[in-house]
A and B are shown apart, each in its own frame.
Chain A
Amino acid sequence: MANPTHRHSKARRDKRRQNWKGAAPSLGQCPECKELKLPHRACTSCGAYNGNKVLEIVEK
């Protein structure tokens, strides 16, 4: 069976993992309510998409 010949130190493991980074979502501004919204998605705060396309927003 194939096995590792040498021990891998914590430093090597952590150096490898340095490049595992999360990326911030690219947000745009809703043209209706100026809130931040995801591109190609209906605005989650006012429910608008492409002008008058409105989904009902239930206030909590």
Chain B
Amino acid sequence: MSRDVLVVGGGDPSAALATELSGDVLVKAPEPAEVDDGFVDGLVRDDGTPVDGLDLVVHALYPDRSRIPTPIGEMTTDDWAAACDDPLEAAIRVARGAHRHLAARSGTMVVCVPLVGAAGAANLVALSALAEGLRVLARSLARSWGSDGIRAHAVTLHPSMFLSPEHTAAAVDATALHDAALGRLPSAAEVAAVIDALADSRTAGGLTGASLVMDGGTWMAG
């Protein structure tokens, strides 16, 4: 049986990962404010069949507003909601809706987050808040869903996988990141291979609640 995968998010890293992940991959990029508890139940594949059971859900829903550096003093309340609150709530509602589909397959949920959450970055406060919230959401899902046979992880990625080159440079400066120890950043194929491995119960069946940093060794905090 083919592995059923749902990727939630538009642009990168979702788009890049979707092309590299193994299995029958369905990509959806909803507006965060439109995601409700029935979002996953309402999904339909290209051939018209409804989603019924999922082996892997990869969540990386970051609206454009999250990815634009802005000093907090210049953000409106609507800016903040669009950049942080709405996508945070969307992730929670995706998780709520995904639960029964993952439980049916003893599946895995992987949340991809930018490194700016763990490391902090000036002018990216909303994105940082969203990222840290999602990283810990994955831990909470791991704790509460383990008894249902569902595993959950967070994969932390370099800012360049979320931001434009111009904004990445600013974020790297603002975060005071070191150069990558490997001399390069991981490719989308390498990240997808790790996510594939996390979803494979033969290799990672005993692993849940992990917070992996895949950034080529730029940030090595505990």
A pairs with B: no
